[in-house]
Structure 1
Amino acid sequence: MIYKKHIALLGILVVLLSACINRNNGSLPTDVVTNPNTASGKVKDNLPKIEFEKEIYDFGKVFMGEKVSYGFKFKNTGRGDLLISQVNSSCGCTVIKFPKVTIKPGEQKVLTVTFDSEGRKGVQNKSVTIVSNCQPNKKVIRIKAMVIVP
């Protein structure tokens, strides 16, 4: 009976110790991780760069209940392919349509922001955060509106 306990304990110990062995040392292929901030101070020059023609758009006066849209034109001015992975708005009243394709260097696309003024009044300032494979990986654009109650 004591031997069975020792054997069971030894088996558990072997399982726990084998789980601690790291076979790949946590290494990732270099093409998966792109960090231009290196110890040598050399920055990779083949990264994408997102540039917007306009970063703030003012709709002006909008009647409550009205939906208004604006297409933010942007261009990949970098040397690598641009991928937008996520776009978040600061409010549920703002809907964003963005290209879900690879944007080659020099290519221009449009990101459309639609603001629904239902239930809003007065000055409205909303932000849209774009997450991409650029460095830095977040870019913020903004819309403004003055919502008037009819």
Structure 2
Amino acid sequence: MLVSGKNSNISFKAELYDFGVIPSKKEATAIFNFSNTGENPIVIKDVKATCGCTVPEYPKKIIKTGEGGEIRVIYDAKYPGRFNKTITVFYNGKDSPKKLIIKGKVPYPKEIDSIK
């Protein structure tokens, strides 16, 4: 039986990932490492992104006290400009949900100088 409540806790090494400048029309991956720092096992119930250009992958197994894992976030850099996306992690702990953020910039294509 899985216990939920005040003694289940997930701790991320970082809650923000800055890609900096990434190439247009490429996928880029951020990895958020975490550990179970609570007294009870944790289960990540769901991870949601703010848009379809951001796809999270997360462990579906029970994570025991002292163990860890990672949430991978794949960003599809289709559109130029700055981006700032929120990933929401739902789990069986008192501080659920946790927010993770990815940000960066996709450069605009260089304009073709057709005027001579």
Question: Normalising by the residue count of structure 1, what TM-score does the alignment of the two structures yield?
Answer: 0.68
Larger strand proportion, structure 1 or 2? 2
Q: Which has the higher contact order (CA 8 A, sep 6+)?
A: 2
Output aligned runs, 1:36-55, within 5 Å: 36=6, 47-55=7-15
Runs of 5+ in structure 2 lacking a partner? 110-116
Within the candidate set 94, 118, 130, 2:54 is matched to: 94
Over the matched positions of the two proteins, sequence identity in percent amounts to 35
The residue correspondences of 1:1-150 to structure 2 (distance < 5 A) are 36=6, 47-118=7-78, 120-150=79-109
1:33 & 1:82 partners in 2: Cα distance? 8
CA–CA separation in structure 2 for the residues paired with 1:34 and 1:82? 8
Q: Which of the two has greater helix per residue? A: 1
Q: Give 4+ residue runs of structure 1 displaced > 3 Å after superposition.
A: 31-36
- Contact in 2 for aligned 1:99/1:110 (Cα 8 Å): yes
Structure 1 residues 116 and 137 mapped into 2: Cα distance closer, same or farther (>3 Å)? same
Kindly tell me the number of residue pairs found equivalent between the two proteins.
109
SS at match of 2:62: coil
Question: Matches of 1:115 and 1:33 in 2, distance apart?
Answer: 33
The alpha-carbon distance between structure 1 residues 34 and 52, as it changes in their structure 2 partners (threshold 3 A), is closer
TM-score, structure 2 normalization: 0.87
Gaps of 5+ in 1: 1-30, 37-46
What one-letter code is carried by the residue in structure 2 that aligns with 1:131? F
Query: What letter matches 2:85 in structure 1?
Result: K
